[in-house]
Amino acid sequence: MSSTIQKRAARKSPAERAAEILEAAKEIALDQGLSAITLRNVASRVGVASGLIAHYQPSADALVAGVFTTIVAAETEEVSALLDRLPTASGRLAVLLETLMDGSRLDVTAIWVEAWTLGRRNEVLAAGVREQMDAWQAVVQRVVEEGVASGEFETAEAPSVAWQILGMIDGLNAQALVRWAGVSDRGTHLARAVEGMVGAERGALLPPSER
């Protein structure tokens, strides 16, 4: 008989199983969207009965919120760490823009967009969304403030400017989700716009490849 048929899933430690579930849910979210995270869907991916997913999560909504937070927080930390290695605020902001606009993170953008809508009916998720937006804003604000301190930038409202930069990035990425054609030089135009907002010199935020 086939050896691949497994009657009952191996018993694992709660920590291990919980991690396994979160990982499976993440994968589902990234390629089918947050709304594809259902108890049965996740269970089948893990190779386990649906009841077990419920046993590890207070509710399906909570699982969705957890997945969102995990995915998005990882990205924030990754980019933040990348910036820390750069010497100047201009360089950091330029890399920030370039990194977030290079199209390699569209799956995460899709998660963001869906979360904005789902948050309307999932309070736990809504709280997570606000928290992660704040985290992003803090990263950007810090860069802007460092630039002001060093004289590279000039603005009296770093917090607002940081929100605006994020909003612009989100909007352009969301747009890219649906429409690619016809938009050339996304990075260049955005860089120019942001230079205007933070009061940087012209060209200071262009990616190295275009400078």
Residues at the interface with DNA (CB under 7 A): 7-14, 17, 37-41, 48-52, 54-55, 59-61
Residues in 32-71 that interact with a copy of itself by CB under 8 A: 33, 35
Closest CB 46 distance from a copy of itself, rounded Å: 23
130 interacts with a copy of itself by CB under 8 A: yes
Closest CB 113 distance from a copy of itself, rounded Å: 5
3-state secondary structure the chain: CCCCCCCCCCCCCHHHHHHHHHHHHHHHHHHHCHHHCCHHHHHHHHCCCHHHHHHHCCCHHHHHHHHHHHHHHHHHHHHHHHHHCCCCHHHHHHHHHHHHHCCCCHHHHHHHHHHHHHCCCCHHHHHHHHHHHHHHHHHHHHHHHHHHHHCCCCCCCHHHHHHHHHHHHHHHHHHHHHCCCCCCCHHHHHHHHHHHHHCCCCCCCCCHHHC
97 interacts with a copy of itself by CB under 8 A: no
163 interacts with a copy of itself by CB under 8 A: yes
Q: Which of 8, 189, 32 has the alpha carbon at shortest distance from 101?
A: 189
94 interacts with a copy of itself by CB under 8 A: no
167 interacts with a copy of itself by CB under 8 A: yes
Closest CB 124 distance from DNA, rounded Å: 11
119 interacts with a copy of itself by CB under 8 A: yes
Nearer to DNA, 19 or 74 (CB): 19
Q: Which of 1, 5, 15, 178 binds a copy of itself (CB under 8 A)?
A: 178
192 interacts with a copy of itself by CB under 8 A: yes
Q: Which of 185, 22, 4, 191 has the alpha carbon at shortest distance from 93?
A: 191
Residues in 143-162 that interact with a copy of itself by CB under 8 A: 157, 159-161
Applying CB under 8 A, the span of 41-49, 57-65, 82-90, 122-130 interacting with a copy of itself comes to: 122-130
In the numeric block, which tokens belong to residue 196? 């205007």
Closest CB 120 distance from DNA, rounded Å: 15
